[in-house]
Structure 1
């Protein structure tokens, strides 16, 4: 067995153990920040440009840069959680560490992060419940799956190609020709100014929808927002859209009442303890 295959198996075994400990099925998406809290690992956000994340062994604390996109923050947190799981000791990780790991421990942490957020069972379940084939899914469909799994569009494509073998290299390159910005314009219209878009459909499941103030969420036509955290947004080609207006927790409900999903909104570039990121501002209460 090659060393890379051995690392992948070690990472996958650890992911299954962590999910089992937290009572999370291997077929379900996971919010890594909620998972860390369940495992008694503190997560903090701080304004730091010089690093992606760090893990402090003595206090079992993960620190994630507040200045990164949501998908990268999730991946960084999962990477640091690997250092906790494998008892690697205190680590400070820069972007190069995550994208070009230069040690077996860092490669193991990357594999763990990928399998934690995008395990084969959850990925296949997400595509299967929509009757989509990963190798034939279009960019918007692929982006929708990435939103549900809480990862970046390009991160999902790389996982599908390199770790899971569910798409070909040719298909990966075709999908990568479409940027998240072009996909946002395809969904919301070419004049949309949305900086971050989450696409939600009737197959989303029970995982909460996490947004930052200013983010846009696209929904099916008959769905409604409940609460004050969302306001009416742009008019997409299909369905409807809302904008996250204030920190707090609300709901999105389908027209037939079958689907009811929690929406959790944090401040943009929130700094502080992760567990408090969705608290309403005093002036908003």
Structure 2
């Protein structure tokens, strides 16, 4: 019997897990590896970063086009030999377990995608760094991943500091931040605005706080600015983008602000996310954006309008403002066109996106691993 086919049996105790009391005792919160005690915080951080660099190199995440792409952390877990499972854990975010010699990682379906991805990287860090089985709650999201904030913050056990540093560096390596800044035309001063940090977090596939910490780590922003940015609430940033449109679930739903700068971007969103397209439209020359492609791809148009032209700028391009929601899972290229209706092929402006819906809110085995098991049965 193959290793992958044994995994569901070995992890069967976790399939109905809801809290730490349902998990194997070996991964209960608070369990510590005695060999880790005494390691300095700096050593723990450096060990976590070295582990992340090693795995990035082994999986070739740091070469070619991969350098500019968000890290497929769920796929990396599978490629590292662990079984990945999603369950409605509460209040836990996730756990790293080892049963009958098989490594497994469980993630809660009850958190937004960015939080799931950071938790996944944290648990992957426990695996790669050789830690004991462990379960984690929301504490991993509230603390800085590289150092405690002076005497005001409680000390973090060494293996937790290692997993924090691993997760931060693995999901947000310096080269990914640099490549995305170049693609988007972001300069350090743009990150003084919480709205920009929030949109960056969606493209990185990380939480807002994790993104602030990584920008601070790479000296894109200073520590004082980082503290200011952490005081902003993503739910408020989402509502500011939407104007008078009522957002019913501000914790679970993200709002993607898409412009011409997103040409060629990979948009991996949760199924309930909203997309605000703000596209310059040369209406004075007869050009208009057409959105038949959106409807054909499975999007519902919730709002469609044009922003008022600023006083004194008559004749300037207008801004088309369209709010959409995907009515079915997405997986493929989407190309929008700005055309003259009477000459649609006359030098159209194009915006091409690769859209993919994440399925991490569904309980069960990670979909590619499930498909592999079904194919082998």
Q: How many residue pairs get matched?
A: 276
- Residue pair 1:200, 1:220 contacting (<8 A) in 2 also: yes
Would the alpha carbon gap of residues 34 and 218 (structure 1) be closer, same or farther in structure 2, given more than 3 Å must change?
A: farther
- 1:9-158 residue pairs with structure 2 within 5 A? 9-25=46-62, 27-28=67-68, 29-57=70-98, 58-96=101-139, 99=142, 102-137=156-191, 138-158=193-213
Structure 2 Cα separation of the partners of residues 230 and 25 of structure 1: 34
Three-state SS of the structure 1 residue aligned to 2:90 is coil
Deviation at 1:231, TM superposition (A): 2.3
Deviation at 1:202, TM superposition (A): 4.8
- Give the TM-score, by structure 1 length: 0.82
Deviation at 1:72, TM superposition (A): 0.8
Q: Which has the larger radius of gyration?
A: 2
Deviation at 1:130, TM superposition (A): 2.5
Three-state SS of the structure 2 residue aligned to 1:165 is coil
Q: What stretches of structure 2 of length at least 5 have no aligned partner?
A: 1-38, 144-154, 280-288, 308-318, 338-348, 372-377
Deviations 1:74-114 (A, max 9, x none): 10000000011112132111223554573111100000000
- Residue pair 1:52, 1:95 contacting (<8 A) in 2 also: yes
Number of the residue aligned with 1:230: 299
Q: Does 1:259 align with 2:369?
A: no
Three-state SS of the structure 1 residue aligned to 2:196 is helix
Structure 1 Cα separation of the partners of residues 276 and 230 of structure 2: 22
- Give the TM-score, by structure 2 length: 0.64
- Residue pair 2:141, 2:209 contacting (<8 A) in 1 also: no
- Residue pair 2:333, 2:352 contacting (<8 A) in 1 also: no
Three-state SS of the structure 2 residue aligned to 1:266 is coil
Structure 2 Cα separation of the partners of residues 200 and 18 of structure 1: 32
